[in-house]
Chain A
């Protein structure tokens, strides 16, 4: 395991009387692609703003590379890149001019800057449109440019706040590729989204937030392990002894029958399936349909918060 480069400890943020963050703590390891999952208003953007040095926490501590992070810690900003939820680029400037401008702000110049700009344009598939004004781009192209701007200075920590909001599938894939590629090159990333499938696909470790609180933070398998698989079996006429035979199978933690429908719960469905088939054969009553619900982040979220992620 790498050493944590980012440590967040009991961070709280109040806007007036309304708490936006309520005692959030987590560590992010060097080179990690960390997912931050939560619905709109969960406090993700506030947390990202604090990590980007745009906001100061009301209380708690944030350290990056062992140094306290605050609005005043300007030297640390050289190590941070941010792709905000809303686009942040100049529509009147070309893609190349946008990249060059932000590169210069971070101290790049001359040939290294030119090389970096071309490298990034190629990376996000905008080389051909490099001299077109960003305002003429599609939403997806703007998102890709937005990501390229965020990494122009090769930050060690990249904050991606809902980077795929409102983009087409092609651009989304482009962004995913770019994120994976940057992470593979060693860049530490925090990726926030309210799209579970994105976080699930990209991030080995995920924190789930709701209403300013950190509800869980673990690897994806560990999060999923918190829930059991659910198996639904449909029978024409379930035999009297079916429930008792299924309930006594090893690995079954619960069994209920409602009319023709049987629901089994199990932490691991794979070894159970042949055993169920054997019981059904012995009872000469095969199920007409069988449906397996594996644990998902959505179900984990529902389990943790009591409401759906997109409520």
Chain B
């Protein structure tokens, strides 16, 4: 064991004196985390979102102060509620028309719906019935749906994104019809049987006046209304909302479907403790763990180049002792790298160690095992520094790309996530994903504790990768 330790300590000393390795293994990942955190860090905080985003500027002045009855809130809120409660639609509220116009101009939004100040007033006046039953009525209906300009709705559009605009327009049309039409029906139905209605009916059926001698005008009016209502028994014409009109349940409110517009942060700030670091730090810890391939490869190549491998072979050492003496310092460096990067992640970037920090230990250890195994395999096959640099770098970058450690893994399609499991990186990232959840939003419950069984399974797979790589390295390694 003594010669192995002697060899290991010598290699450790060489590694510690190798500034190139220190740069690759420690400085580079920290720099990348810093740069990515400052530049596109918000990308790492996004979750995949397949919902249609409907951007809205609400300038609606609401209903008059004297208004009572239906609707209980401004019509713009009625429309926003309907939109928000629609599945797969996300409502984004933009504060000003100027901001909306700027986003349209820049092409950041295909369309923005603007509720003009008179919106509630206009909708309130929507009616199937004209004068004298309704004062100054508005008929918003036309061939294709709701004529938005009639009710004070403007849809800003970017001419270069017409398809997206059309989709948003259709979504808005459906919602407007669901809000406006029940209101108009209910309003009209309320008028059926009323004295003005009966007076108008007398113009078409003069005999009605004679009937009043037998049945009162009010009774006939109420009967007509009830009769029509009964004829359309599947509908409630008095409902005024789509759910009531169709006698359906009100859709559940989906609060997360509505959010305020967040302008991209143009400032360059570290944002310590931001969610991005819960992704960036483990991602680059894992990616750069495998850059050990270069360091170990160079160590082996240097041993050949300096002729010292011949001395080692001429010494009373077994092949096993030589390889173990090489492996141990590499493992030590890899472990130190893993723990240091996580520690720096915590100290510099404010990354949280999550609810079960002790579980990080096996993840770091098993990731190092896999990285050292791969590094020994590459070292056993490469013969020159150039081979190590070219093949090693290509291999590491390819594995990192495939595993999703260079991008938010959550954004990967499911199929790619499954494929990525052929890389050890993916298993390490899965484990870190459980152990380093994003910090809880104010008012939101904290992330659930990690599934220990899942994490240990990931560690087991990583150790398995390491064992297979080391087996192959032992088989392929030629010391002569």
Contacts and interface: CB of A to CB of B under 8 A. Distances in A.
B316 interface: yes
B6 A54 contact: no
Most buried by A among B6, B7, B14, B17: B6
Given A54-B480, A92-B14, A92-B17, A102 B306 contact: no
Given A89-B308, A91-B306, A149-B311, A106 B316 contact: yes
A107 B293 CA distance: 31
A86 B314 contact: no
A143 to B, nearest CB: 12
B318 interface: yes
Interface string A72-107: 001101101010101111111100010001101111
B3 interface: yes
Given A89-B306, A92-B17, A105-B7, A77 B314 contact: yes
A75 to B, nearest CB: 7
Contacts of B314: 52-54, 77, 80, 82
B2 interface: yes
B2 A104 contact: yes
A89 B309 CA distance: 9
B51 interface: no
B6 A104 contact: yes
Contacts of B17: 92
A97 B308 CA distance: 14
A82 B316 contact: no
A308 to B, nearest CB: 29
Contacts of B3: 104-105, 107
Given A89-B306, A92-B17, A77 B315 contact: yes
A93 to B, nearest CB: 7
Contacts of B310: 54, 82, 84, 88
Nearest to B6: A104
B52 to A, nearest CB: 61
B105 interface: no
Nearest to A72: B318
B317 A90 contact: no
Contacts of B312: 105
Contacts of B318: 74
A156 B310 CA distance: 19
A80 B311 CA distance: 11
Contacts of B480: 54-55
B307 interface: yes
A283 B318 CA distance: 77
Interface residues of B, number: 22
A106 B315 contact: yes
B149 interface: no
B10 A88 contact: no
B307 A87 contact: yes
Interface string A52-63: 111100000000
A90 B306 contact: yes
Contacts of A77: 314-316
B317 to A, nearest CB: 7
B457 interface: no
B428 to A, nearest CB: 32
Contacts of A78: 316
A86 B311 contact: no
Contacts of B315: 77, 102, 105-106
A89 B480 CA distance: 17
Interface string B454-480: 000000000000000000000000001
A88 B6 contact: no
Contacts of B7: 105
A105 B13 CA distance: 16
A77 B312 CA distance: 11
Interface string B174-212: 000000000000000000000000000000000000000
B10 A74 contact: no
Contacts of B6: 101, 104-105
Interface string A255-288: 0000000000000000000000000000000000
Nearest to B5: A104
A98 B3 CA distance: 14
Interface in B1-27: 2-3, 6-7, 10, 13-14, 17-18
Interface of A: 52-55, 74-75, 77-78, 80, 82, 84, 86-93, 97, 101-102, 104-107, 149
Given A87-B307, A105-B315, 20 more contacts: A54-B313, A74-B318, A75-B316, A77-B314, A77-B316, A82-B310, A87-B306, A88-B308, A88-B310, A89-B306, A90-B14, A93-B14, A102-B311, A104-B3, A105-B6, A105-B7, A105-B312, A105-B316, A105-B317, A107-B2
12 contacts: A80-B314, A82-B310, A82-B314, A86-B307, A90-B14, A90-B306, A93-B14, A101-B6, A102-B311, A102-B315, A104-B3, A105-B316
Give the 7 A-B CB pairs with smallest separation, nearest first.
A88-B307, A104-B6, A77-B316, A86-B307, A88-B311, A105-B315, A74-B316
